[in-house]
Amino acid sequence: MTKTLSQALLNQRMLICITTGFSSGLPLYLLIQFVPAWLRSAQIDLATIGLINLVLFPYTWKFLWSPAMDRYVLPFFGRRRGWMLITQLGLIALMASLSLFDPEQQLKQIIFIVGAIAFFSASQDIVIDAYRRELLPDVELGAGNGFYAQAYRLSSFVPGSLAMILAGYFPWSLAHLSIAVFMLVGLVTTLLIKETSRPGEAPLTLKSAIVDPFNEFFQREGWRQAVLMLLFLMLYKLGDSMATALETPFFLDMGFSTVEIGSIAKIAKTTGATLGTILGGIVMIKLGINRSLWVFGGFQLVSILGYVLLSIVGYNHLVLAFASGFEYFGVGLGSVALIAYMAKSTNRLFTATQLALFSSIAAVPRTFVSATTGYIIEALGYTQFFIICFVVALPGMLMLIKIAPWHDVAKTRSITPDH
């Protein structure tokens, strides 16, 4: 395993995983970190900002149109690269267009554009996930997904740090344009890489592209176990999804400036997430997926309490760094375990649609539950809100008894699909 990882560091396939991971994460972090801060700075109330999370529904429902992207081949660049090019060009245009609007006067137009960005971003995720699965041989799935996940996290540095600092010195419009420019990383990657899908691999009919992946999943171990797994995907990260949904407005309300958030909090969060991802990948080799879900989920649960502490202490640079770093250390660990679990549960013959289904289900809390966070905060305050986040994280941990028993590790040593 050590030899495989050392070779992967110099592997061109890993570089592709890094650049595509960056391209996938950038639009999402624009929507969940930068846009809320932009709106809050324009005195938009928390309840409205929370409700805007509802337009992120494409991340939850992307499995509905993933079969179409699997079935239809565009007349340029091939089945995967063609769709990657279209989605990335759309994202660049939409993200740049946000610079033209004023939240105080044109909130409806902004909501429409945010929804369109979410759609193109979710569509980009579909095709990049499929490309990555076709690109990587089975022995490199673990390393490739690890590099992808880390680059995904690191992309948050642009909207959550660089753009936030720019917004502290220049107009918000310039910050928006700066984020859009970084999407060129994904576009250039698409232009340079080779197509992975070979002629004749696309499903012959749209019906086959829709029906076969779902039939295989629900018949594999029975529909009851399939439903239980989907429920687990929704609940495992419910607590930290709620806790981080409005974290930027939370920091602002604690008295921190956009510059302090973009420097102190962002550096701490990125450091925590990086350590969580790297340590998680290493420890998982020994623990296996089942036990990692338990151990990493425990850290993910406890780390929410850091935000409870910050809500009590208030404006304090040290507590801000500790709370945000600890929270994202837990988030990083939990994400590594969940990605590995989803990869293990995917049949490589139907990776595009099944991964779209799994990641969509996992995004349900971020999209729908997070929409209520503004109301909860305004009704109860931040301290009680984060305690609630801790409590709602417990059911996902309890489901591990059925989903990933501690002593049942024989089938979870590898994330390579066996089906």
For residue 324, what is the domain's CATH number? 1.20.1250.20
Tens of pLDDT, residue by residue over 95-116, are 999 999 998 888 889 999 999 9
Residue 416 lies in a domain: no
Q: When comparing pLDDT for 326 and 147, which is higher?
A: 326
Q: Is residue 141 over pLDDT 70?
A: no
Apex 50 CA angle, 47 and 55, nearest 5 = 130
Residue 410 within a domain: no
Number of structural domains (the chain) is: 1
Q: Does 335 fall in a domain?
A: yes
pLDDT at 185: 96
In the predicted model, is pLDDT for residue 20 greater than 70? yes
In a domain, 413, yes or no: no
The string of pLDDT tens digits covering residues 336-346 is 888 878 877 87
User: Considering Cα of 309, then 315, then 317, then 321, what sign does the dihedral take?
Assistant: positive
Q: What is the pLDDT of residues 185-216, one digit of tens each?
A: 999 999 999 988 777 677 778 888 888 888 88
What pLDDT score was predicted for residue 303?
95
CA distance 227 to 212: 17
Would residue 414 count as lying in a domain?
Answer: no
Does residue 306 form part of some domain? yes
- Predicted local confidence at residue 370, as pLDDT: 66
| Residue 280 domain boundaries | 2-403
- What average pLDDT does this structure show over 3-23? 76
- Coil, strand or helix: which one is 102? coil
Amino acid identity of residue 67, one-letter, is P
> How sure is the predictor about 4, in pLDDT bands with cuts at 50, 70 and 90?
very low
pLDDT band, residue 258 (cuts 50/70/90): confident
Element (H or E) spanning 185, and its range?
A: helix 184-192
Question: How much is the mean pLDDT over the chain?
Answer: 86
Take residue 29 and report the two structure tokens written for it. Answer: 């972090």
Higher pLDDT pick, 124 / 266: 124
Res 307: pLDDT? 96
Q: Is residue 220 classed exposed, middle or buried when 0-12, 13-18 and 19+ CB atoms within 10 A define those classes?
A: middle
- Residue 189 in any domain: the answer is yes
Residue 147 or 190, more confident: 190
Q: How confident is the model at residue 418 (pLDDT cuts 50, 70, 90)?
A: very low
45-70 average pLDDT score: 83
- pLDDT value at residue 417: 38
Whether residue 409 is contained in a domain is answered as: no
